[in-house]
Amino acid sequence: MNVKENTEAQRMSFWEKLYLPAIVQGLGITLRQMFKPKFTRQYPEERWEPLGSYRGHPVLVLDEDGERCVACGLCSRVCPALAIEVQAAETGREKERYPVKFEINMLRCIYCGYCEEVCPEEAIVMSKDYELVFEDRESAILGKEQLLVPIERLQDRLEFLRRYK
Amino acid sequence: MTELLVQLVIAGIKAFIVINTVLLAAAGLVYAERRIAAWIQDRIGPNRVGPFGLLQPFADVIKLYFKEDLVPALADRAYHRLAPWISITVALSLYAVIPVADSIVIGGQRIPLSVAPNINVGVLYILAMTSIGVYGIVLAGWASNNKYSLLGGLRSSAQMISYELALGLSIVGVVMVAGTLDLAEIIARQQHVWNIVYQPLGFLLFLIASFAETNRAPFDLPEAEPELVGGYHTEYSGMKFGLFFLAEYSNMVVASLMMVVLFLGGWHVPFIPELPRWLGLQEGSIGLALFQAGVTLAKTAALLFLFIWVRWTVPRFRYDQLMRLGWRVLLPLALLNIVLTGAVLLALEHVVR
């Protein structure tokens, strides 16, 4: 048998086997790294403004005619986490259906965005809000008063939806 | 009798100052470690508690005090409690013989600035005490009744015993050059040329061995998280863990101080040893002592930075690599260093005659 070993250790020269030059080189790299700009964001003071493509928690759009939602219940039907509950009612106005009750349980929501995708009225969209803090389970269920957001604050997302949806 | 009392009071004051300085330095070191680690990793690091986050270590200590102090079931309670105290006692008692500055003269009395002055075997004392430090770690591993702790403790003892040989032998070269084991005397002889010039190999060996002795990366196998959870301090919480932590950082400071004393000229200013005289500092005055202590501490701080810097650069060794490096590289090199030093000294002696 004439087996020739060819291990890493055998290929290395004496100078390489000493490792010290490599360690010094490594120290140089880490030293240079120390003076590079940092990636840390000083969070509470310095906030991150997400792009339009960001899926924060879902909200209901409130335009100049009032809420857009017609309580069709598609969002509630498509929601894989069963987080949305809608109860419809009627009014005498031209757009006669509206939700008397629209609740999203933020403990169940998985931010998939299906509700937004399925909505025929562009009435439920994903916001940029990523700061969700609750002190108990009840307050994690958001009602209409927390969900309705004026359309001006959702322009980025609506723009994004029109372009890419 | 009064003479003895005076000596005791002086030693007590010095011990108080030294221990407090060390504890403060360890706190500062924890902060420095976190900050430098963060910078190397493109982060900012702790900057919330106090100005620049400087009070972070104190916040950490407060947190540790308020944590529950757990002793695992079936653990050997007495030894479990004893182990951190052995570690911290040894770590703090090491400072007794290290002089940070030349002696000062107050009221015609010469006061050497180390807690236990005029010990003519200072080097031996340091080596002996560091060996005792192993007990704390082994006991912690053994008494915890946890296999990871035990493995960590065993690894640590094997590692420290292996590298102690290289550590001790690398000092022998310095001792041969200086001709004494007295640390103050060794510093005094380095006024013009530091020992690192005579003993570059010795310094390198001492540096590597002291990384291993202090269980610092790349030799931090005893507490290798991926394999051993937390190593020997897995089962420690609260201030008992804090004591181990403190002992580790205190050991780093001792190792750096030893390097400064043995190889880097102690309190002597590099290149311009006459600087304190130009500044008008009198021999034996407190001003000179403060100046020298500053020089010593600056050098120590530089070495501590090296410790931290290396930790965040070099990956951890495997166990077999660690043992191979210790026994097959460092030990023979240390012996070679002794032989070479002896040969050169002998040759010089003959040339001079």
ipTM of the modeled complex: 0.71
* pTM: predicted TM-score of the whole model, two decimal places: 0.79
Identity of the residue in A26, A27, A40 whose CB atom sits nearest the CB atom of B44:
A40
Rounded CA-CA distance B272/B280 in Å is: 14
- Condensed to tens digits (0 to 9), the pLDDT of residues B192-221 reads 778 787 888 888 889 888 888 888 878 877
Instruction: Annotate chain B with three-state secondary structure.
Output: CHHHHHHHHHHHHHHHHHHHHHHHHHHHHHHHHHHHHHHHCCCCCCCCCCHHHCCHHHHHHHHHHHCCCCCCCCCCHHHHHHHHHHHHHHHHHHHHHCCCCCCEEECCEEECCCCCCCCCCHHHHHHHHHHHHHHHHHHHHHHCCCHHHHHHHHHHHHHHHHHHHHHHHHHHHHHHHHCCCCHHHHHHCCCCCCHHHHCHHHHHHHHHHHHHHCCCCCCCHHHCHHHHCCHHHCCCCHHHHHHHHHHHHHHHHHHHHHHHHHCCCCCCCCCCCCHHHHCCCCCCCHHHHHHHHHHHHHHHHHHHHHHHHHHCCCCCCCHHHHHHHHHHHHHHHHHHHHHHHHHHHHHHHHHHC
Is it the case that residue B353 has pLDDT exceeding 80? Answer: no
Is it the case that residue B126 has pLDDT exceeding 70? Answer: yes
**Contact at CB, A30 and B313, closer than 8 angstroms:** yes
Closest listed residue to residue B53, CA positions, set B39, B67, B64, B66? B39
Least confident of A125-139, B99-113, B151-165, B186-200: B99-113
Is it the case that residue A12 has pLDDT exceeding 80? Answer: no
Report the residue of A17, A27, A41 to disrupt the B interface, i.e. the one with the largest count of B CBs within 10 Å: A27
Q: How sure is the predictor about B273, in pLDDT bands with cuts at 50, 70 and 90? A: low
More confident residue, B331 or B224: B331
* Distance (Å) from the alpha carbon of A12 to chain B's nearest alpha carbon: 17
Interface contact B329, partner A, CB < 8 A:
no
Biggest distance spanned by C-alpha atoms of chain B: 71
Chain B contacts of A42, Cβ < 8 Å? 44
**Contact at CB, B39 and A33, closer than 8 angstroms:** yes
Rounded CA-CA distance B81/B249 in Å is: 20
The pLDDT value recorded for residue A80 is 92
Chain B contacts of A35, Cβ < 8 Å? 39
More confident residue, B102 or B214: B214
The pLDDT value recorded for residue B107 is 66
Q: How sure is the predictor about B284, in pLDDT bands with cuts at 50, 70 and 90? A: low
Residue of A nearest to B38 (CA): A34
State chain A's mean pLDDT as an integer: 85
Q: What is the dihedral of CA B90, B93, B94, B99, to 10 degrees?
A: 170
Share of chain A above pLDDT 90, in %: 5
Size of interface A-B (CB pairs under 8 A): 35
